[in-house]
Structure 1
Amino acid sequence: MDNLILLLLIVGIICVLLSFFFGRSSQRHAEDIENISISLHQETNQLKKRLKAVEEEMMIGGVTHVTPGIGPKTKTSSKPVHEIIVNQILSLHSQGYSIADISKRSSLTTEEVVEVLRMRGVR
């Protein structure tokens, strides 16, 4: 019986010592995972910023218009209208918005909105 108690005591001490070694390695793994998570979050934020910059550049860039029966044509005005804005204008017009409302929503003058609609053969 004394041998059994002594054996259990030795096994218990060994288990406690082993837990110190394995506990620290799992703590290192947790720290590594946390560092990777932070790094991934930072990279995602950087990609979002780059994507936003590219989208803004596209909004500023030139526009090509397609006039029915004529083909692609580059608009040469003082303020080129980007294709995304053109699509927004066409969508708003098809939904029944007035030229003044479309002008406010697209940040263009009413003349520019009318010109875009005319270039697309809508008006």
Structure 2
Amino acid sequence: MEFVMIGLLAFAIILLILSAFMRDPYKSIREEIDQLSMQQIQDMYVIKKKLKVLEEELLVNDVDFQPALSVQQPPSSKQKKDIHEIIKNQVWSLAQQGLTVEQIAKQSSLMPSEVESILVEMIGRG
């Protein structure tokens, strides 16, 4: 019984010494994960910084744009022609889906009269 205890103790000491000299198999993986984490944090910082700049630009543009809206006159026929073709197609698609003119106007940021004129134009095209 004593020999078994001494043998187990000796085996434990040998394993302890070996574990001190063994190379950690997960060390390289941990280092890679740390590097990826740092890179991701840096990328997120850059993205947030760019987003903040864009938001500030939009706020500046909104401040410049707000007074123009309060003094804006009803759109003339020339302004109606300036509506982009993509918007017209979107209005037509929404109308085919069964949305009301008011819903389409709200969704496409147009006035109801503009939506109606676009729909008349699209019906005229066929």
Aligning the two structures, in what range does the TM-score lie when normalised by the shorter sequence?
A: 0.3 to 0.5
Query: Greater strand share, 1 or 2?
Result: 1
Calculate the TM-score normalised by the size of structure 1.
Answer: 0.46
Higher RCO, 1 or 2 (CA under 8 Å, sep at least 6)? 1
TM, length-normalised to structure 2:
0.45
Report which of the two has the higher share of helix. Answer: 2
